[in-house]
Amino acid sequence: MSEIVPPTIDDIRAAAVRIAPHLHHTPLLGSHSLSELTGYKLSFKCENLQKTGSFKPRGAVNRIATLDPEAANRGIITISAGNHAQGVAYAAARLGIKAVVVMPETAVASKVVATRSYGAECILHGDVHSAFEKLQEVQQDRGLTLVHPFDDPMLIAGQGTVGLELLEKDGAPFDAVVVGVGGGGLIAGVATALSSLAPETRVFGVEPEGAATMTLALAAGSVVRLDDLNTIADGLAPPFVGELNLAVVEHLVESVVRVTDVEIRYAMALLLERMKLLVEPAGAAALAALMNGKIPVERGTRVAVILSGGNVDVQRLAELLPGHKRSPA
């Protein structure tokens, strides 16, 4: 087995140049009311306003743009419940590459429609576990190149451009950055960028109680596969984290904490009410951790919160938001 080589700050800088013609430089917004509620000086990196509604096309564009010509001609394949699917479909369309996306049959309907609207072929198959088996079958039959959802150096480098942009606002590094964790690509990229350019900034991860794959992997010292995933944050619920991402998190991330679905719902409602931002459950998890005192940083410090996505199925919005406005105990 070849050695796993994480991306460098130079890879991330190159990715920033590569993706710039295709993606938004998303805003970094403050909120006086949410800062007062949490006791932190909060800034929100609004990846919910990115192309396709999440940070995912950053990594997808960078990965696809660095394919060799032969692989690009054959086409690519990936697997995703939604946001990565849209990111890859968008990136492939921009770069003129044929894309196939395998999605579990439980994928949110609006995300399937959006993926197809970018021109990708979508194959709906089984649950998240059997969908991986389907991907391997189709990849082998058609000779396609895999664009991994989270465990690939060039994909991680693309996601790391979020970290670069966090440092551009006023030049002063944040005291802490809080990032939602699914497969771990985003937090690995952000932590890599910040460790090189702002090593004093502390990085924390947040994952759902019902899909705590990174927490379990950190405890075990190796990737752990979960057969039972139970959370409203589908964007943070792959059955395992990336091996490369785990290695980066072990070295560069201070800790990973868990939040409940109730806490995520409340954070979603606050972002909608106070900032007029519609953020999906996965995107609201980082704020949920801060709202419930789970990030061990001093009050009054400058904290960046990454709102990783905003792809909420309108048909499910009412059931995702809490029926009350009191914070959970």
CATH code of the domain in which 268 resides: 3.40.50.1100
Is the pLDDT at 32 greater than 50, yes or no?
yes
Q: What angle do CA 217, 218, 222 make, to 5 degrees?
A: 50
* CB-based burial label for 135 (10 Å; 0-12, 13-18, 19+): buried
**Among residues 112, 125, 48, 47, which one has the least CA distance to residue 86?**
112
Q: What does the alpha-carbon distance between residue 258 and residue 293 come to, in Å, rounded to a whole number?
A: 11
Is the pLDDT at 1 greater than 70, yes or no?
no
Would you say residue 326 lies in a domain? no
pLDDT value for 114:
92
Q: Are residues 175 and 130 in the same domain?
A: no
Q: Are residues 195 and 284 in the same domain?
A: yes
Is the pLDDT at 21 greater than 60, yes or no?
yes
For the chain, helix, strand, coil in percent to 5 are 50, 15, 35
Q: What does the alpha-carbon distance between residue 254 and residue 179 come to, in Å, rounded to a whole number?
A: 12
Contact 295, 289 (CB under 8 A): yes
**Among residues 189, 203, 209, which one has the least CA distance to residue 264?**
209
Is 308 a residue of the active site?
yes
Q: Are residues 49 and 173 in the same domain?
A: yes
Q: Are residues 226 and 315 in the same domain?
A: yes
pLDDT value for 313:
81
Which range has the worst mean pLDDT, 61-75, 142-156, 196-210, 227-241?
Answer: 227-241
Beta strands in the chain (DSSP E): 28-30, 41-46, 76-79, 99-103, 121-124, 145-146, 176-180, 202-208, 255-259, 302-307
Q: What does the alpha-carbon distance between residue 174 and residue 300 come to, in Å, rounded to a whole number?
A: 12
Would you say residue 256 lies in a domain? yes
User: Given 128, 152, 176, which residue is the final one in a domain?
Assistant: 152
Please identify which of the residues 45, 51, 56, 111 carries the catalytic annotation: 56
pLDDT tens digits, 93-126: 999 999 999 999 988 888 899 999 999 999 999 9
User: Given 152, 171, 192, which residue is the final one in a domain?
Assistant: 152
pLDDT value for 4:
66
Would you say residue 325 lies in a domain? no
Q: What does the alpha-carbon distance between residue 319 and residue 205 come to, in Å, rounded to a whole number?
A: 26
Would you say residue 243 lies in a domain? yes
Would you say residue 186 lies in a domain? yes
Q: Are residues 129 and 189 in the same domain?
A: no
**Among residues 166, 160, 169, which one has the least CA distance to residue 55?**
160
Q: Are residues 172 and 131 in the same domain?
A: no
Contact 233, 282 (CB under 8 A): yes
pTM for the model stands at 0.93
Would you say residue 1 lies in a domain? no
User: Given 122, 152, 182, which residue is the final one in a domain?
Assistant: 152
Please identify which of the residues 43, 54, 80, 308 carries the catalytic annotation: 308
Q: Are residues 141 and 174 in the same domain?
A: no
pLDDT value for 285:
98
Is 56 a residue of the active site?
yes
Q: Are residues 49 and 94 in the same domain?
A: no
Contact 104, 81 (CB under 8 A): yes
Domain enclosing residue 306, as ranges: 9-54+154-320
How many domains, the chain? 2
Would you say residue 235 lies in a domain? yes
Q: Are residues 82 and 115 in the same domain?
A: yes
Output DSSP code: residue 329: -
Task: Name the token pair of 259.
Answer: 């939040």
Q: What does the alpha-carbon distance between residue 244 and residue 284 come to, in Å, rounded to a whole number?
A: 25
Q: Are residues 228 and 125 in the same domain?
A: no
* Helices 9-19 and 56-65, axial angle in degrees (round to 10): 90
Q: Are residues 78 and 90 in the same domain?
A: yes
Q: Are residues 71 and 220 in the same domain?
A: no
Determine which helix (DSSP H) or strand (DSSP E) holds 74, and give its type and residue range: helix 69-74
Would you say residue 126 lies in a domain? yes
Close Cβ partners of 18 (under 8 Å, ≥ 6 residues apart): 61, 62, 65, 66, 158
